[in-house]
Structure 1
């Protein structure tokens, strides 16, 4: 929690609004990804992470997200065939405030 934010009242209102929204990621999804990453760590799967983690907001669009998602899935097919192991796909996108998050598109 910042203690030196220029407008603490506005910060509090935004935090309250965010608390009322549904989570971006549910606990079950996080557990699922943790299990998949354990397979990667054990050498039983390959990790493929990709996305527009550093794109400018000017280029941010639904089409770009769709195309990136499609590319990750295509790369996973090639890697699965070539490596003979399942591929854990993790996409990275930027949120409006510049924070990044990862998701498992399965």
Structure 2
């Protein structure tokens, strides 16, 4: 079962109710996130991103992220912004450290 923070994110981002229900009822317990989303029928790129963001938020809360926590993140700027904003809105962190990078095209 996803926590309220993750569920709120899914709903705020407009993920379809049937997809939210699938995520709630079929918890991830493996090492292949893409295959998990495929099994749940979450194939649209935007929906996969939203589900991934919610999964990260759920995991952070489950692992004990609380007020005063420091979060260290390395990943895409857009995902970092979502995580930072949601964690701040929850009141669960005071410091967010981000490793900034940009993907380059191969020539």
Assess same fold via TM > 0.5. no
Larger Rg, first or second structure (1 or 2): 1
For normalisation by structure 2, the TM-score amounts to: 0.27
TM-score scaled by structure 1? 0.27
